[in-house]
Chains A and B, each alone.
Chain A
Amino acid sequence: MRGSTRQQRIKKSVGRTCRNVKVNLSSSLAASHEAEVVGDQLDENLRMKNFHNAWVKIESTIKDVLHNINADVFNEIDGWVHRSFGAICSSGKPDTNKATCSYPIVTDVTAKQIFTALVVMNNMEFVDDLQTFADLGIHLQSHGCHVANLSSVDFSAKNGIGGCLKSLSRQILKGSIDAADISILASWYMEQENSKRPVVVIVEDMDRCSGPVLSDFILMLSEWVIKIPVLLILGVATTLDAPKSILSSKAVQHLSPFKFFLGSPADRLDAIIEAVLVKPCSGFLLGHKVAAFIRNCFLRQDGTLTSLVRAVKMAIVQHFLMEPLSFIVKGLLDEEVTQSGEPTSLSEAWPKQALDLPSCMRILSEPKTEALLGGASKMKELLNLWSCVVLCLYDAGKNQKTTLLDLYYEALDPKLYNLRHTEYLESQPDSQRPSSTHGLHGQSFRNKGSLIGHTVRQVRDLPPAALFQLLEKWVKQTDGVKEMHEKVKELQLQEKFEDDNLKEPANRSRRQTIRNNGNLDKRTKELNQKAAALISCMARDHMQPIECIPFHEIVCFKNVDKLQAALLGDPRRRIQLDLLECHSFLKCSCCSKSCNVPISSMHDTTLMYTLAQEHGDLINLHDWYQSFRSIIFQRPVKERHRSKVSPSPKKRKTTTEPQNITEASVQARFCRAVTELQITGLLRMPSKRRPDYVQRVAFGL
């Protein structure tokens, strides 16, 4: 971090609830190693720069992906806004005097209709769509609209209609407005430069708004719609019927709805996985166990795209902090191109320290110097192949709604990769098998339950039209990957040839047609088999996961425990463990041999909590105190032993109670320990119903 010197000052404010501290920090360098340190500092600066670029790349990639997914629907909404505004304008404008008078113009019921877009999110997890509506607002603003984004916080029952009106005014008028007065908005809108553009109000999460407040807001807008032609966009998380169940019937009557549908959360998830984790993006990759953890969190706990993206960002930060060789090579896996449009050759070598990495020591077979020089390029090549095969499998599995997250997770598994290899080698004649497979006779490693295996088998059952489309996709995916592209093209040509045979000449007899159809079915099946064999071969030969590649530690984050600890605190479990395993943190000699048996030298709160485990859900305070007291007054073990073995009568202790412990101090310690357990929330204090008991809140770990 940058070191700087600043003056220290402290400022106290009213109530002493806050204090401002600026601190003096001076940095110093050891003079004797100055040159080395300067060199290290340059490396560190380079790492920081590369890391920052990778971070920015991930963020911008995600932004672009979501932008592309939403582009079509945003354009549709924009088109609807301008068409609706055109329809409003064609019905004429009120003159300025009437428009700014305090009473709204009432003509007829239809004139009070508000053009409303119901944007269906298909997603109960609103957090994933926060950015969507912000982007929609920006998109509409850039296309000439006045836009205000309101959320459910603006429509709370506590703030009432004044809250949302203030927020609306603040955004449209771009100033600090204290009065929630819609006539101010009307006056502003009547100004010539403002009235040429539509006013769009986006209510981001309609389902979470207070129904009565939103209804009142809509009714108010409908009263003023002639003067301020507002176009309403409502984000709907549940169903299209949500407005009817949330809003009053009177408010619903004033809505003239149009429906728009955002892309499904599954599509967005797959698009992000593809762009950030499967395809080369930032030079940062996840290990199999980390991918498994993120997948589990998504499927079993959180279920939001936002948390998944956050996990990836946390992983990259931790990778930078934990792996000193990470980000040392610039632009490892992204598609850098020269001005002429050709990809640059990767000339950067791995640093020498990379030879100490476990993957290098274990896997490397070639000379080390060569490995260092060519390592980055080789890794890039292998990862491109891996990425290509995963996307081909994804294309194959789309009909069965296979998610890329599941495929990605499985494709990262080094064990499955080795099993595929072993299975293939098993099927070869003995002479062609390497020695490592000897001794595996007769064992079948066909992983029938795996998703990849299932996807491959599905290819066999594809109808001709679907197979044709799949091969077209594979041709595009494998473009530039010569190891696969030629084989895919060859198969595609065969498929086209068979397809041409489908066109029967007019002069063929019926018997010939039937015979031809039978042959055709057989040939189609053969094609399916070949396609399945091709993808299976690609998976076996080219889908080498990152953890099987030398030097992978530089680019691949594998520390799932650290990531889990940072993302999911689990204080309920951890605070209890802190109390029960106090010694493992304090490492004191007095408690080292207690083995969780209560002893007097233990931390008081730990002792109390250990004693509490012996009770049920209700702890009698009297008994608890007596247990605590008896432990406190117990002589330490060392003293008891000393008194037994000491030969000298002078040294033998005769007192049964330790010195300096009074009844008051025991009671004080008991009180403080109970207070500390109360602060942690592990106990519920006595109530009028049970004044002599406390209640345990947490049970077990």
Chain B
Amino acid sequence: MEDHDIDEEEFEFSRNYFLAKESGKSGKKSARKISEIDLVDEQDLRAEVSNIEPKHEKEIASLINSYKSLYNEWVFELRYGFGLLMYGFGSKKTLLEDFASTALTEYNVIVVNGYLQSINLKQVAMAMAEVLWDQLKMQPRSTSGGLLKDQQPFNSRSMADLIAFLDGPHAAEDECLVCLLVHNIDGPGLRDSETQHLLARIAACSHVRIVASIDHVNAPLLWDKKMVHVEFNWCWHHVPTFAPYMIEGVFHPLILAHGGTSQSVKTASIVLQSLTPNAQSVFKMRRHSDGQDCLYIPLSKDALEKLLLD
């Protein structure tokens, strides 16, 4: 791109910004309210959202299918140390899971659903370490034999130890690889700086390869130069799918819904469903003094004090 083209682009962008700001001020600002819309009942609205008739189904399927021809390229780039970053409008969950299940046969794949509200990266690192350990045990000439004797279980190791293990010179790098597939690496559960630095350190490990998707236009702001060029080593791929954000949108409140109580209930029920049966059984239900039903965890006074101190 010539220098003057770059200047033209930057000028055009800032010109549009100021034009938009001016048009917002110059015209008479509409004072209409959402409440003036004849809104349907919230439950009906939610039911309708779940049952929206899909449009352009065939075209969307065809578009997603067209990306299959790129799978070999993507695998090649992964092999040579690049992290794959998929972007473009539309849910990329189906596309990436198809890619992982058909093309990443040399790797064990760990999937992280970044669109969830909270993610436990320690668990992710543990799962990766366990999978790598299983692979290393199958290698005849690896140096893992020496490690076996001092092997602490992974669930008792610190994050730094897990990363050191994933980065260790246990075997030739292209023999034992774990692929980390992160849906929505820019999702709300992963957006904080510390999490991104941790993900970057994991991605930089010699036995790890990363494939991720983003949807937010400002996602690049999550990363500094070290993360982009060295740790993640992103190779960008524009793969718009126009597939609906069914699961990614679950945690976003509906703009026309009244209040947030239904959303809170839905969010709480999704979180509860994600727990194991044992964890679910910890919660009890009772009626609060204001007449509302609530969930609580029964704890003795001592246990509660200890929890608060920790």
Cβ-closest chain B residue relative to A1: B75
Residue B306 CB within 8 A of the other chain: no
For B76, what are the chain A residues with a Cβ–Cβ distance below 8 Å? 1, 317, 320-321
Cβ-closest chain B residue relative to A305: B229
CA distance A518 to B148 in the complex (A): 85
Residues 579-620 of A, flagged 1 when their CB comes within 8 A of B and 0 if not, give: 100100111101000000000010111000000000111101
User: Do B87 and A571 touch across chains, with their CB atoms under 8 A apart?
Assistant: yes
Say how far B64's CB is from chain A's closest CB, in angstroms.
Answer: 11
User: Do B219 and A664 touch across chains, with their CB atoms under 8 A apart?
Assistant: no
CA distance A618 to B21 in the complex (A): 9
Residue A503 CB within 8 A of the other chain: no
CA distance A215 to B24 in the complex (A): 52
CA distance A617 to B49 in the complex (A): 27
In-complex Cβ contact of B160 among A19, A170, A306, A313 (8 A): A170
Residue A422 CB within 8 A of the other chain: no
User: Do A571 and B110 touch across chains, with their CB atoms under 8 A apart?
Assistant: no
Residue A314 CB within 8 A of the other chain: yes
Decide: A127 near B226, CB < 8 A? Known: A17-B113, A667-B256, A675-B249: yes
CA distance A292 to B6 in the complex (A): 13
User: Do B89 and A680 touch across chains, with their CB atoms under 8 A apart?
Assistant: yes
Count the B residues whose beta carbon is within 8 Å of the partner chain — how many?
Answer: 112
Count the A residues whose beta carbon is within 8 Å of the partner chain — how many?
Answer: 106
For B38, what are the chain A residues with a Cβ–Cβ distance below 8 Å? 663
User: Do B225 and A306 touch across chains, with their CB atoms under 8 A apart?
Assistant: yes
Residue A566 CB within 8 A of the other chain: yes
Decide: A17 near B124, CB < 8 A? Known: A571-B220, A601-B55, A668-B48: yes
CA distance A125 to B100 in the complex (A): 35
For A176, what are the chain B residues with a Cβ–Cβ distance below 8 Å? 152, 157-158, 161
Residue B296 CB within 8 A of the other chain: no
For B55, what are the chain A residues with a Cβ–Cβ distance below 8 Å? 601, 603-604
CA distance A259 to B162 in the complex (A): 37
For B119, what are the chain A residues with a Cβ–Cβ distance below 8 Å? 17
User: Do B160 and A572 touch across chains, with their CB atoms under 8 A apart?
Assistant: no
Cβ-closest chain A residue relative to B255: A674
User: Do B197 and A676 touch across chains, with their CB atoms under 8 A apart?
Assistant: no
CA distance A269 to B23 in the complex (A): 47
Of listed A569, A681, A686, residue having the most chain B CB within 10 A: A569
User: Do B252 and A679 touch across chains, with their CB atoms under 8 A apart?
Assistant: yes
In-complex Cβ contact of B21 among A3, A167, A569, A617 (8 A): A617
User: Do B100 and A568 touch across chains, with their CB atoms under 8 A apart?
Assistant: no
Residue B303 CB within 8 A of the other chain: no
In-complex Cβ contact of B100 among A21, A678, A701 (8 A): A21
Residues 88-104 of B, flagged 1 when their CB comes within 8 A of A and 0 if not, give: 11100000000011111
CA distance A13 to B36 in the complex (A): 47
User: Do B108 and A22 touch across chains, with their CB atoms under 8 A apart?
Assistant: yes
Residue B112 CB within 8 A of the other chain: yes
User: Do A672 and B49 touch across chains, with their CB atoms under 8 A apart?
Assistant: yes
Residues 18-59 of B, flagged 1 when their CB comes within 8 A of A and 0 if not, give: 011111110101101110111110001100110111011001
Say how far B90's CB is from chain A's closest CB, in angstroms.
Answer: 8
Residue B63 CB within 8 A of the other chain: yes
User: Do B33 and A622 touch across chains, with their CB atoms under 8 A apart?
Assistant: yes
CA distance A637 to B210 in the complex (A): 47
User: Do B33 and A304 touch across chains, with their CB atoms under 8 A apart?
Assistant: no
User: Do A680 and B215 touch across chains, with their CB atoms under 8 A apart?
Assistant: yes
CA distance A321 to B257 in the complex (A): 50
Say whether chain B's binding surface is mostly helix, strand, loop, or mixed: mixed
CA distance A537 to B55 in the complex (A): 66
Cβ-closest chain A residue relative to B49: A668
User: Do B254 and A671 touch across chains, with their CB atoms under 8 A apart?
Assistant: yes
Decide: A20 near B63, CB < 8 A? Known: A176-B152, A304-B229: no
User: Do A616 and B24 touch across chains, with their CB atoms under 8 A apart?
Assistant: yes
User: Do A304 and B225 touch across chains, with their CB atoms under 8 A apart?
Assistant: yes
CA distance A676 to B242 in the complex (A): 10
Using a CB-CB cutoff of 8 Å, which residues 202-242 of chain B contact chain A?
214-220, 225-226, 229-230, 233-238, 240, 242
For B242, what are the chain A residues with a Cβ–Cβ distance below 8 Å? 578, 582, 585-586, 603
Decide: A588 near B56, CB < 8 A? Known: A4-B106, A15-B274: yes
For A675, what are the chain B residues with a Cβ–Cβ distance below 8 Å? 245, 249, 252, 254-255
User: Do B32 and A700 touch across chains, with their CB atoms under 8 A apart?
Assistant: no
CA distance A672 to B3 in the complex (A): 41
Say how far A461's CB is from chain B's closest CB, in angstroms.
Answer: 29
Residue A698 CB within 8 A of the other chain: yes
For A674, what are the chain B residues with a Cβ–Cβ distance below 8 Å? 255
CA distance A686 to B164 in the complex (A): 45
User: Do A21 and B85 touch across chains, with their CB atoms under 8 A apart?
Assistant: no
User: Do A622 and B30 touch across chains, with their CB atoms under 8 A apart?
Assistant: yes
Decide: A310 near B229, CB < 8 A? Known: A582-B242, A623-B30, A671-B254: yes
User: Do B158 and A681 touch across chains, with their CB atoms under 8 A apart?
Assistant: no
In-complex Cβ contact of A307 among B127, B219, B225 (8 A): B225
For B17, what are the chain A residues with a Cβ–Cβ distance below 8 Å? 699-700
For B19, what are the chain A residues with a Cβ–Cβ distance below 8 Å? 699-700
CA distance A459 to B14 in the complex (A): 45
Residue B116 CB within 8 A of the other chain: yes
In-complex Cβ contact of B217 among A575, A585, A625, A676 (8 A): A575
CA distance A228 to B239 in the complex (A): 56
In-complex Cβ contact of A663 among B40, B73, B238 (8 A): B40
Residue A472 CB within 8 A of the other chain: no
Say how far B214's CB is from chain A's closest CB, in angstroms.
Answer: 7
In-complex Cβ contact of A317 among B53, B77, B105, B236 (8 A): B77
Decide: A575 near B23, CB < 8 A? Known: A21-B100, A680-B216, A698-B217: no
CA distance A21 to B255 in the complex (A): 36
Of listed A565, A601, A617, residue having the most chain B CB within 10 A: A617
For B59, what are the chain A residues with a Cβ–Cβ distance below 8 Å? 586-588
For A1, what are the chain B residues with a Cβ–Cβ distance below 8 Å? 72, 75-76, 79, 103, 105-106
User: Do A616 and B110 touch across chains, with their CB atoms under 8 A apart?
Assistant: no
Residues 24-46 of A, flagged 1 when their CB comes within 8 A of B and 0 if not, give: 01000000000000000000000
For B300, what are the chain A residues with a Cβ–Cβ distance below 8 Å? none
CA distance A670 to B49 in the complex (A): 9
CA distance A616 to B6 in the complex (A): 26
In-complex Cβ contact of A578 among B34, B49, B79, B89 (8 A): B89
For A487, what are the chain B residues with a Cβ–Cβ distance below 8 Å? none
Residues 170-206 of A, flagged 1 when their CB comes within 8 A of B and 0 if not, give: 1000001010000000000000000000000000000
25 residue pairs from A and B, CB less than 8 Å apart: A1-B105, A6-B105, A17-B113, A17-B120, A17-B123, A17-B124, A18-B110, A21-B109, A23-B101, A166-B160, A170-B164, A314-B82, A572-B218, A578-B88, A616-B21, A617-B21, A622-B33, A671-B254, A675-B249, A676-B245, A679-B216, A679-B245, A685-B255, A694-B255, A701-B12
Q: A15-B123, A17-B123, A310-B233 are in contact. List 18 more A-B contacts (CB 8 A).
A: A17-B116, A17-B119, A18-B111, A22-B108, A55-B80, A125-B225, A176-B158, A569-B234, A578-B240, A579-B89, A621-B255, A667-B40, A672-B249, A676-B249, A681-B218, A691-B34, A692-B34, A699-B16
Residues of B within 8 A of A (CB): 1-3, 6, 12-13, 15-17, 19-25, 27, 29-30, 32-34, 36-40, 44-45, 48-49, 51-53, 55-56, 59-60, 63, 72-73, 75-77, 79-80, 82, 85, 87-90, 100-106, 108-113, 116, 119-120, 123-124, 127, 131, 152, 157-158, 160-161, 164, 194, 197, 214-220, 225-226, 229-230, 233-238, 240, 242, 244-245, 248-249, 252, 254-257, 274-276, 279
Residues of A within 8 A of B (CB): 1-4, 6, 13-23, 25, 55, 125-127, 130, 153, 158, 166-167, 170, 176, 178, 292-293, 296, 300, 302, 304, 306-307, 310, 313-314, 317, 320-321, 560, 564-569, 571-572, 574-576, 578-579, 582, 585-588, 590, 601, 603-605, 615-618, 620-623, 625-626, 662-665, 667-672, 674-676, 678-682, 685-686, 691-692, 694, 696-701
* Pairs A-B, 5 closest by C-beta atoms: A616-B24, A700-B16, A569-B236, A668-B48, A622-B32
